[in-house]
A and B are shown apart, each in its own frame.
Chain A
Amino acid sequence: MHELAVTESILNVVLRHAGQNGVRRVLGIALRIGELSDLEDTWLQRYFDYLSKDTLAAGARLHIERVPVVFRCEPCRHDFPVNVREMDQVRCPQCGGERMTLVSGREYFIKNIEVI
C-alpha cells in the first residue's frame, strides 16, 4: 500500500505552502484524485492524521473530489464517462465507435487549503 508515501507527499506540500503564508492552522485540504487511482479515502485520512500529529496541519480534514474516468470518441469527438469496472464493453453512446482516448481519470492534485 502506497497510501503512506502519498500522504507524506501531501503533508509536505501543504506545510510548505502554510509556512510561506504565515498560517497558524490548516483546517482542510481539498484534493482531486482520478478514479483510476485506487487510493482509499479512509486510509488516506488515517495516515494523514498519524503523520500530521505534531504539525500545523494536525486534525485537518481531507476533502477528496473523485474525477470520473472520461473517454473521448475519436471519430465523433463525443466525451462520455465510463465505469472503470466495465471497460471491456465501452462504446461511444453517440455513434457506437470503439476508438477512444482517455480525457480524465488520472488526476492527482492538491487544489487548495483552508487555513486560519
Chain B
Amino acid sequence: MSDVRLIDIREEILSDNQELAGKIRRDLGRHGVFMLNLMSSPGAGKTSLILRTLSTLRDRVRIGVIEGDIASSVDAEKVSREGVPAVQLRTGGFCHLDAPMIERALKELDLTDLDCIIIENVGNLVCPAEFDTGSQRRAMILSVPEGDDKPLKYPLMFSVCDALVVNKVDYLGTSDFDLERLRERVCKLNPDIRIFPVSCKTGEGIAEWTGWLAEQVAGARPPA
C-alpha cells in the first residue's frame, strides 16, 4: 500500500521554451541586437511590411530576416533579393515558431554584423501568441479586409503584442472597417499597445512604423 500524495510544482507550462527564450534575449542584448517577432494571419502583409521596412531603414539600420513561412522559400528569396541576410526555416507544417527554432536560425546569422532581426512568424493568429521566441518586442499585423472584430476572436494575440500594424488602409473607404472601434477593442485588452495604420501599397503610415522600430533598435544598443 502506498499513499497518494501531492507534489507542488508551480511552474509555467512552457517553462523550457521560456528559459531558452530568455537566454536568446540575453545573448542578443550582449551583442546589442534588437529582435522583433512579427505575426499575422496568412496574407495580412508580413512580407510586404518587411520589404517596406528594409527599403526605408536600410541606410541606417543593418537588418537580418528569419523567415518562418511554411509554404515555400519564396519569401526568403524576395528578402534576399533586397541584399539583406535571410534565413529560411523549415517548419515542417508547424503552426508557430518557438525558441529552439530561433536559436538554430540565429546560428546562421552574424550578430556582430547586425542591429536588428525581424522574424516573419508562421501565418496564424492563435499559436504564435503562446510561444516566446526570445524577441525583445512583438508586433502583429491586422489587415483591413480581415475586419475590426478580430480582437474578439484572437484576444491573446492582441494582448501580448507591443505594436499593432493595421495594414491595407487603402481599402478603408470600400469597407465597413472602423479604425476607432478597433482601437477601443484593442486598448481594452492591451492599453499600452502602439497602433500604426499603414498601407504597404501606397506607403502611407510607413514612416511612423519605421520610426517606432528604429527607436526600439536604438534602445537595444549598448551605450557607446
Contacts and interface: CB of A to CB of B under 8 A. Distances in A.
A103 to B, nearest CB: 12
Given A27-B4, A87-B189, A36 B127 contact: no
Given A2-B96, A115-B7, A9 B16 contact: yes
B188 A90 contact: yes
A21 B9 CA distance: 11
A17 B7 contact: yes
B145 interface: no
B74 interface: no
- Kindly state the interface size class of chain B when it binds its partner: 35 or more
Nearest to A26: B7
Interface of B is mostly: mixed
Interface of A is mostly: mixed
Contacts of A24: 2
Best-surrounded residue of A14, A88, A99, A116 (most CB of chain B within 10 A): A88
B191 A109 contact: no
Contact of B159 (A17, A36, A98, A99): A36
A98 B187 CA distance: 10
Interface in A101-116: 101-102, 105-106, 108-116
Contacts of B9: 13-14, 17, 110-113
